[in-house]
Chain A
Amino acid sequence: MAKAKKYRFNEVSPVTSVILNISFTLFAVFCAAPLVLVVMSAFSSEQSLVNNGYSFFPSEFSLDAFKFLFSKPASILRAYGVSIGITALGACVSVLLMMMYAYPLSRQDFPFKKFFTFFVLFTMMFHPGLAPKYLVYTSILQIRDNFLAVLIPLLTNGFYLFVIRTFYKATIPPTLIEAAKIDGCGELRIFFKIVVPCSLPVIGTMGLFMTLAYWNDWMNYMLFISDKTMFNLQYLMQRVLNDARYLAENGSAISASAAAGAPTSGMQMALVVLGVGPLLFAYPFFQRYFVQGLTVGSVKG
């Protein structure tokens, strides 16, 4: 209450306030416009796209592009399945493993803290590059065309590890752990029964970041996956755009309709809408965690 009063007391003038609001509205339009353009294009008829191009106000609406995509839904549904499965698995495993690595680092009494911190820090400063990494995955681990090749590269992130460590340092007092020890708790039990329940905020934030990383990943698919049935949604989209013939090769039903004037330009945009959809609907609910995570990350310890 007192805070609200203080703000009123030092408020910007009404004119400035209007100017601020106008410029922010314009910028908000600038942020949203590309997505609106794509959604509009996805819902416009192929004829209006040919005549007027991609437009914010298409002359004719139609669901042809979506109907066409779902006339042979196998590859899209499979890509959805891969995206959802890998994202869920990857995000859960990576958050759990990162917590298990970050927690000992946050303990004042852990004697190997320096070594394990440096072990991570060095990877943040020196990247061996793409070619040697490619070689490790394909020749040493031999996980081409294996989902492990898209899971392992993203499992760990040095910056997030330090964010989690900082969180633990700030929220879990050493006395709490000491007390649990005196009560006869083992280290593992302390971690799972005390530390994990205390770390729900950081689980939310890191879960969101990792979900984003796995859902939006395409590079590891481009490098390691050549089997079409294992593509995720992002990579499927890339393939469709990069060679429009790709879908045609994929099924005879599609190639037949492609010959009969398939809505290719609308279809590309419809695919984007399908690809963005779930994430964008979920995003406003998770925004809180996102902002929280950024704020935690900016306070380094």
Chain B
Amino acid sequence: MKGHEAAQILKSPFKRFCCNFSKYKSLVFMMLPLTIIIFVNSYLPMPGLIMAFKNVNYYDGIFKSPNVGMANFEFLFNSGDALKITLNTLYYSIIFIVLNLTVAIIMALGLNELRGKYKRKIYQTLFIMPYFLSMIVISYLVYAFLSPDKGFINQTILKFFNIESVNWYSTPNAWPIILPIVNMWKMVGYNSVIYLAALAGIDGTLYEAAVIDGASKWQQIRFITMPCIKTYIVVMILLSMGNIMHSDFGLFYQVPMNAGSLFSTTNVIDTYVYRALSTLNNVGMSTAAGLYQSLVGFILVISANLAVRKIDADSALF
């Protein structure tokens, strides 16, 4: 074995590659199918990014369409669209991170203290259930509550208090509150399971020692639990900060029912990219907005990861 490796180092890089390849060719062939799929899904589209700098028309074809330089970006930023969708995206991302984190941690702490294995399981089953529903189903569930003429809120709750019914699907100001609630409803069980796993990893003897020293439950949470999962929480926040430019397309497209009157508060970058492509049929603009999102997102992921590596090298992506 040793002699073989020494011989390899002496060879030229190309020969070494060939030698390695022939030795491991069956492993490489095993990876081939998915390599092709990944290439098609993520690498083949990259040359298409050139459309961001072109005025695409199907007569000339994509690569022969006239170059317009930065015009697509100029239009995007001068029209104010870019600012609006960026602010919307950032607003929702930050609210989601804060809300989901706090609720999930409180929930995990509570579940951890709960006596009775079955009770805990039943609660958990109910909390995770929303995660299994598709955004289409969720949009129906929300519609059952918010429908202007038949919705539960208008027909039952508001009627009960004698308040005039509200047409939620044309009230943009309500959605910055509705969407975080919907998102929390969907994600909280899922997130609490993750934190519950982190809590399970804490050394039980720490608590025993604390109890002997006369620590109350609150003191245990404050001085043992929180410090123990602090790194973990920071890592989770940083990793989600890296994804701050991306949002759940379904949540912002399906749940507000694609209602035009709600665009001022529900249009995020992802929905803007889709609408520019499908309804405005402006391929150049759609690509430009997508490229803007990808580049900013790329920088954020890299910096978030650098930060994570400083705090806890094992949790870093690379």
Task: Give the residues in chain A near B123, CB-CB below 8 Å.
Answer: 24, 27-28
Chain A contacts for B163, CB-based, 8 A: none
The CA-CA distance from A41 to B156 in the complex, in Å, is 14
Task: Answer whether A27 and B127 are a contact pair too, CB < 8 Å, given A11-B115, A54-B155, A129-B273.
Answer: yes
Contact A110 B38 (CB under 8 A): no
Taking a contact as CB atoms under 8 Å apart, the answer to whether B48 and A131 are in contact is: yes
Q: Which of B73-114 contact A (CB under 8 A)?
A: 107, 110-111, 113-114
Contact partner of A242 (CB less than 8 A), chosen from B217, B258, B301, B302, is B258
Across the interface, name the chain B residue whose C-beta is closest to A122. B42
Give Cα A49 to B147, complex, Å. Answer: 12
- Contact A128–B24 (Cβ < 8 Å): no
- Counting chain A CB atoms within 10 Å of each CB, which of B34, B249, B291, B301 scores highest? B34
- A31 in contact with B127 given A104-B30, A132-B49, A291-B193 (CB within 8 Å): yes
Which A residues touch B193, using CB under 8 A?
Answer: 291, 294-295
Give bound CA distance, A227 to B123, whole Å: 42
**Segment 34-57 of A: residues with Cβ below 8 Å from B:** 34-35, 37-38, 41, 49-50, 52-56
* A116 on the B face (CB < 8 A): yes
In the complex, the answer to whether B151 meets A35 with C-beta atoms within 8 Å is no
| Contact status B290-A131, CB under 8 Å | yes
B238 in contact (CB, < 8 A): no
B289-314 interface (Cβ within 8 A of A): 289-291, 293-294, 297-298, 301-302, 314
With CB as the reference atom, state the residue of chain B lying closest to A215: B134
CA distance in complex: A130, B198 (Å): 36
Residues of B within 8 A of A127 (CB): 42, 246, 290, 293-294, 297
Contact present for A54 and B151 (CB under 8 Å): yes
The answer to whether A80 has its CB under 8 Å from any CB of chain B is no
A131-B286, A235-B136, A284-B125 known; A97+B34 contact, CB < 8 A: yes
User: In the complex, what's the smallest C-beta–C-beta distance from A142 to chain B, in angstroms?
Assistant: 13
- Counting from the closest, the 4 A-B pairs by CB-CB distance are A129-B290, A53-B155, A132-B48, A216-B134
Residues on B close to A: CB < 8 A?
A: 20, 24, 26-28, 30-31, 33-35, 37-38, 40-49, 51, 62, 107, 110-111, 113-115, 119, 122-130, 132-137, 139-145, 147, 149-152, 154-156, 185, 189-190, 193-194, 197-198, 204, 207-208, 211, 217, 220, 246, 249-250, 254, 257-258, 270, 273-274, 277, 283, 286-287, 289-291, 293-294, 297-298, 301-302, 314-315, 317-318
